[in-house]
Amino acid sequence: MCVHRCRTFCRITMASVLKETAGLYETLKAEWNKKNPNLNKCGEILSKLKISLLELNFLPTTGTKLTKQQLILARDVLEIGALWSILKKDIPSFERYLAQLKCYYFDYKDELPESAYMHQLLGLNLLFLLSQNRVSEFHTELERLSAKDIQTNVYIRHPVSLEQYLMEGSYNKVFLAKGNIPAESYTFFIDILLDTIRDEIAGCIEKAYEQIQFNEATRALFFPSTKKMTEYAKKRGWTQSPDGYYSFSSQQQRTEEVTIPSTELAQQVIEYARQLEMIV
């Protein structure tokens, strides 16, 4: 008798939590789909939903049998969480959400209808790894995808092309790719990648030249405005002479450090920038 009452009580409690979770998700979805969602409010709801999903065992664990509806609900929550993390510029949070989502995308791919956001988020994960220079992990994740997706899916093809440009040293193509992103969410990680490339180019310029003209530096570093160039030069400690040339604070260390690869890369990038300017 006691066991029966206990089971009945548990079912009622679980049903209550399930109803509350579904209501929270609808509230989250309504806020998220607004033109300018309140990110703090979304974050608060996501925190509550993660607790509810754990209470309901909706996040896949060994021995837990979940219905298709439960899996889809959990997947939808995690997808919003991943995209929310990008808007909040919270990289660790994005990485945690993606780690959980892979279970739904790969382990349950035969049981669930394909998510409309799957390829976008898997492509974002590739771009994230690329922006962190985690190339080995990038290729590991790529191996989980079909050849068709790699070759034809716009969300996957974009980071794959970027990695190819990086391997070729075709930095101009990487910068041009920013104007051809498949979704606005890609901007965050591609900006991180471009900043990393700029730092590498700037380092090569510092080793290869004694000084560089302002306009030449702006082109070589692919800055869209002189203001951005000025801010960047200040950050690196470059000083500008009255005649418009930058010299570098690391100049005293330069004498014995100049290498042919640095000089060639700097010259190649500057030439790319000139060609790009002519095309534009």
In a domain, 153, yes or no: no
* Mean pLDDT confidence for 186-203: 93
Q: Is 245 helix (H, G, I), strand (E, B) or coil?
A: strand
Do the domain assignments include residue 58? yes
HEC profile for 121-176? HHHHHHHHHHHCCCHHHHHHHHCCCCHHHHHHCHHHHHHHHHHHHHHHCCHHHHHH
Please state the rounded mean pLDDT for residues 38-65.
82
120 within a domain of the structure (yes/no):
no
Burial state string for 234-245 with b = 16 or more CB within 10 A and e = fewer than 16: eebebeeeeeeb
89 falls within a domain? yes
Q: Which domain holds residue 38?
A: 18-112
The answer to the question of residue 2 being in a domain is: no
pLDDT tens string 213-229:
999 999 989 998 999 99
Record the tokens describing residue 224, joined without a space: 């869209």
Check whether 257 has a pLDDT greater than 70: no
Q: What is the pLDDT of residues 74-122, one digit of tens each?
A: 999 999 999 999 999 999 999 999 999 999 999 888 889 999 999 999 9
Long-range pairs for 32-40 at CB < 8 Å and ≥24 separation? Answer: 32/80, 32/84, 39/84, 39/87, 39/88
pLDDT (average), residues 154-169? 94
Q: 176 is written with which tokens?
A: 């041009």
Task: Output 189 or 273, whichever has higher pLDDT.
Answer: 189
* Total domains in the fold of the chain: 2
What's the first-to-final CA gap in the chain, in angstroms?
81
Does any domain span residue 49?
Answer: yes
Q: Residue 253 sits in a domain of what CATH number?
A: 1.25.40.990
Residue 6 lies in a domain: no
Which of the listed residues 86, 112, 138 is the one where a domain comes to its end? 112
Query: Residue 81 forms beta bridges with which residues?
Result: none
> pLDDT-derived band of residue 258, with 50, 70 and 90 as boundaries?
very low
Note the pLDDT of residue 98. Answer: 96
| Of 112, 141, 168, the domain-final residue | 112
* 126 belongs to a structural domain: no
Domain boundary among 93, 112, 131: 112
